Amino acid sequence: MTMWGGRFSGVTAQEFRNFNDSLRFDYKLAPFELQCCQAWVDVLLEQQVLNSAEAKQLHVGLAQLQEDVTANPSLPLELGSEDIHGWVEAILEQRIGTVARKLHTGRSRNDLVATDLRLYALSASQQVGAALLAVIEALLTFAERYEQQVMPGYTHLQRAQPVLVAHWALAYVEMLERDFQRLQQANERTNVSPLGSGALAGSGIAINRTELAHALGFSRACRNSLDAVSDRDFVVELLSVASLSMVHLSRISEDVIFYATGEAGFFTLSDRVSSGSSLMPQKKNPDVFELIRGKCGRVVGHLQAMLMTLKGLPLAYNKDMQEDKEGFFDALEEWQQCLAILAHVIPELSVEVGKAEQAARLGYSNATDLADYLVDRGMAFRDAHEISGRLVLAAIHQQLPLESLPLDVMQQESTLIADDVYAALSLEASLARRKVLGGTAPAQVSEALRQAKLRFQGKRAGFTTVRQATLSDVPAITELIRYWAAEGEHLPRKPEDIMQAIHTFAVAECDDKVVGCGALYVYGTGLAEIRSLGLTPDQTGKGLGAELVQFSLEQARQLGIQRVIVLTRRPNFFARLGFTTADKSTWPEKVMKDCDVCPRKHACDETGLEIWLRNSGKNIINSINL
């Protein structure tokens, strides 16, 4: 049975059907098709297209189909239908009779498949998100296990400077965290319902599409019917996120492959996840990482194919769009599979501590430390760089490491060099010197690992985002400020005051619940203040406070504000974000607005801090935990 046969008097050629039909791959949409059908039955009942007995009959039949498909996902392939939509109607009619023929009233395969595909994308993304978090957790555990171990860092595949193994692992944590964030942001745009848009012009039944969208679990309905049935931006966006994430997985795979070679020998992969050679008995191959690296091209290829499919399409639906599924299904499945296997094999990875540390001492990787030593003693960096290079050349000629050159040889290049140079050239000193934010100094890496673990805990507990506040957030913001005012952290604010200033607020949202807020108040002089910053007690320590501050500072930058102030009892938190202590008496705007009416005016225990935003990038804002 076809869904379009009335117009045609001839028999469809089998060759055409073989080429045209899509059930062989779109059967994977069956659970989502049935979900849409259940919601649509309620719509038809409300619009009196169905009576209650017919609606009940359809609901029961669809529910049974859902159970059958859950038990046997390949069930639709047993019936020779054109596509998943035709299969549902055909099998329903077999089971419950002609009432099934009413199901398609007021809808089209165009809006139905667009809705099915979005539901599939949201479901698959949830699974991929969990897999991403599993890899992040595995990397964090690896970093914790080898937190203090040293390995060489590379540029141009040549030894450059020593780094901690944990620092290497945390670099990939950063990449995968961004992948997770991009996935969640893509899902926000995917989470809209096309159902009820009809073939292209909207349904002929006066349905409430917003209620229908909510019944299906979407955040809202698509606003334009032409766009709704022909839009595949969400497919392209998710393929893009998948492609970039697979590039990250390919890069980590390449690192591990290289580090596990006989030439490097820093990492060892356990026998449980390695393979050998059919010819060479000595071989131990990192096949799993090579496969991940290879599958990257496959996923990226699906992105390019989808872009080319859409490039020349006019509005609205065209049969070309049937090509949106196979590559999309494959890309998300491969992405999830690669993440799953990576989470499994990272714990099987071990570091050859002695060999990695020895390699970190080779290659004159402390040459920069010698240049820094000379700079500390007043020499211009370019001169220090040149002297250090000449001493490296001398060490190479004598076949000695730099730190073994005799002092008199070094002093021939510069009299600023003294006995203490040898301590400065040690591996420990090289690492300790990189104590800037994001550096590889042990203390810095330890703090970075702590923060990353807290961020991970927050992600595992539920997705959190920071956004501009809206009027619907006023009650939650009021409650947050009321709570912290009672704790003595904020001045109390009335709901009507918050409503009037809602454009100044940002909120942190976790699982659709506001869990934090902060405001950027701009004074008439152009000075701005971050105020009313607070989180629900269960969300502290996860980095949300810093994200709220970053959001406000970005607003300030866009407004052209140069200086932002804060008055706080937690100066260390803001200091870690780049704020410096300031004399609040130099802020007449703040003093006149709030300080004069503060009950603690004469016994103020708050510290004033400020940050300048337009000073050649001096202050870099980073995610620190509140």
- CATH code, domain with 32: 1.10.275.10
Query: Which of 74, 270, 277, 404 is flagged as catalytic?
Result: 277
| Helix ranges (DSSP H) in 207-325 | 209-215, 225-230, 233-259, 287-311
Residues 95 and 69 in one domain: yes
- pLDDT classification of 598: cutoffs 50, 70, 90: low
Mean pLDDT, rounded, for 149-168: 95
Domain annotation covers residue 625:
no
In a domain, 440, yes or no: no
pLDDT tens sequence across 389-400:
999 999 999 999
Q: Is the same domain home to 115 and 101?
A: no
Q: With a cut of 50, say whether residue 620 has pLDDT above it.
A: no
d(CA 92, CA 98): 9
CATH number, domain at 121? 1.20.200.10
Higher pLDDT pick, 281 / 218: 218
Helix or strand holding residue 531 (H, E): strand 528-535
Does residue 234 sit in the same domain as residue 286? yes
**Count of the separate structural domains present in the chain:** 4
Q: Is residue 439 part of a domain?
A: no
Encoded tokens for 510: 């976790």
Which tokens hold the place of 474? Answer: 């006023």
Instruction: Give, as one character, the DSSP assignment of residue 587.
Output: -
Measured N-to-C along each axis, helices 367-376 and 381-397 cross at an angle, to the nearest 10 degrees, of 140
Whether 344 and 397 share a structural domain: no
Q: What is the pLDDT of residues 219-233, one digit of tens each?
A: 999 999 999 999 999
| pLDDT > 90 in the chain, percent | 75
Going from the C-alpha of 303 to that of each of 240, 471, 560, the distances in angstroms are 6, 39, 38
Instruction: Looking at the structure, tell me whether residues 90 and 170 fall in a common domain.
Output: no
The answer to which of 8-12, 96-100, 170-174 has the lowest mean pLDDT is 8-12
- Is residue 599 over pLDDT 60? no
Same domain, 604 and 466: yes
472 vs 461: CA distance, rounded Å: 24
What distances in angstroms separate CA 467 from CA 186, 512, 552, 555, one per listed residue? 15, 12, 10, 11
Residues 494 and 594 occupy one common structural domain: yes
Mean predicted confidence (pLDDT) in 523-538? 90
Contact 60, 53 (CB under 8 A): no
Domain that holds residue 415: 367-425
Question: Which token pair is 622?
Answer: 């980073």
Reply yes or no on whether 156 is catalytic. yes
CA distance 361 to 370: 14
User: Do residues 220 and 195 make contact, with C-beta atoms less than 8 angstroms apart?
Assistant: no
Look at residues 357, 382, 406 and tell me which one is the last residue of a structural domain.
Answer: 357
pLDDT of amino acid 615: 45
Catalytic residue among 52, 156, 278, 602: 156
Same structural domain for residues 189 and 282? yes
For range 478-485, the mean pLDDT: 94
Same domain, 469 and 414: no
Lowest-confidence range among 296-305, 318-327, 585-594?
585-594
Backbone angles phi, psi at 154, to 5 degrees: -125, 145
Residue 326: predicted pLDDT: 96
- Band of residue 542 on the pLDDT scale cut at 50, 70, 90: confident
The reply to whether 396 and 476 lie within a common domain is no
Regarding whether 573 and 604 lie in a shared domain, the answer is yes
Per-residue pLDDT at 590: 52
Residues 353 and 410 placed together within one structural domain of the fold: no
pLDDT at 597 over 90: no
Q: Are 566 and 530 in contact (CB under 8 A)?
A: yes
Q: Residues 262, 268: contact at Cβ < 8 Å?
A: no
Domain-located, residue 430? no
Nearest-angstrom CA–CA distance, 140 and 118? 32
**How far apart are the C-alpha atoms of 293 and 403, rounded to whole Å?**
39
Q: Are 589 and 523 in contact (CB under 8 A)?
A: yes
Distance CA(303)–CA(246), nearest Å, equals 12
